[in-house]
Amino acid sequence: MVLAPAPDPHSPLSFLLSSPLYCIFAGRNAKTQGNILSNLLNSMSSKINFMSPLEAVSILKSGDHVHLSSVASTPTILVNAMCEYAKANGLQDIHVHHLHTEPPAPYANPEYEGIFQHDAFFVGKNVRKQVQAGYADYIPIFLSETQNLYRSGVLPINVAMVQVSPPDNSGYVSLGTSVDATLAAIERADTVIAVVNKDVPWALGDALIPLSAIDRFVEHDEPLEEAIPAQPNEQELAIGRHCAELIEDGACLQMGIGAIPNAVLSQLGNHKNLGIHTEMFADGVLPLVEKGVINGSMKATDRGKIVSTFLMGSQKVYSFIDHNPNVLMMDVGYTNDPFVIARNPRMTAINSAIEVDITGQVCADSIGTTFFSGVGGQVDFIYGASRSEGGKPIIAMPAITSKGVSKLVNTLKVGAGVVTTRSHIHWLVTEFGAVNLYGKTLQERARLIISIAHPSAQEELDKAAFARYGSHYHFVK
């Protein structure tokens, strides 16, 4: 079954088709039909009391905690207004929370020190330098639990700033590409400010919220942030081939964005009946959907549906989910719950790393003491896949950096964080092969890991293993 969009019963088009106006609509040319639909949409939006961005953020006060919808759907116009208003009015100690965001994050810059405190759930590239310099900060947290920070009251939430689609005729809007912890923030916030943006796709699932959940509205149309698909190099294609060999027909997949996920997906054209249950997906999924390779027919939960909590890709991805009943954008507490993940048989989770030591400890968030990203959903899916019947948790990474430094090491750098523990790791893949570490001793693991290291690093790693384990190490097969 090919996952193709179908009409949404709450859409303006469905409303028109079910009304007496349809006989007039059907007799018009395509351009006139488009104008009729546009006017209908505008009439629905006209019921909303819009205000300027500065007026909308004027409820901010010192000490507030603010949540921003994340990734592709960051409400940039509200961010800029927030910075302008807070600086002009002498506000202090406003805490800003979000997953990673794509546009510039001025509130994390040194000029706003004392006005804003950046306390995000992930370190994105737009705040990485500020976090490393100490002007911004990071809350280490499993992605599955980000929503619980709000729902449990551990983090107060005064203002949620989000982007939504225009409303349908039933008074609902869609959060589009960013449900994640944003839904929890909307539920708990004292004030919800929404940018109504026609470029936000109408996503289904937990993305639909009533207009009554929103307190202040700003109208602003602006294309969502895009990420152009990365083209994998030969090293990444080799990693992709090894991963693809581990993926069985009927498997349910989780992978992120970037060259390695794209390399894996490009190798799956001859697979059958794959499913998707993930925290995010991007352009690499679309060709497999079009070919019918990804159809979700073997999933145990949400059969026939692609399930995700946020998106980051090109406009093709955003158009794909628009009014598509076969894509569910769900709360991160559902998508990343390891026990929900485990319900799908042959769950195959592919995640990456910065370093892996010869015992199987995985560092994925820092380079020594320097934070580079965050925990994200890696542990959620590694653990969930390990509990799945026939599941395969996979850490896939280059064996060596572009500067010739081995990413497989005797010991992690001083201060490096362990994201996936040596007790959780199963499959480890590099361009030189794939090894299964589950159930293996420390000495067996060392042998296996060194076997897929870059040849230039193998002798040094072998000497380090010998020094660590003694002469008996040479007898381990």
Distance CA 242, CA 247 (A): 9
Query: Distance of CA 247 to CAs 156, 250, 274, 293, 431, Å?
Result: 42, 9, 9, 13, 16
Residue 359 tokens, joined: 């015992």
Contact 406, 449 (CB under 8 A): no
Active-site residue (options: 102, 279, 355, 431): 279
Q: Is 248 a catalytic residue?
A: no
Radius of gyration for the chain, computed over Cα atoms and rounded to the nearest angstrom: 24
Cα 285 from chain centroid (whole Å): 14
- If we measure between CA atoms, which residue out of 295, 376, 309, 299 comes closest to residue 342? 299
**Interatomic CA distance for residues 440 and 139, integer angstroms:** 33
**Residues with catalytic annotation?**
279
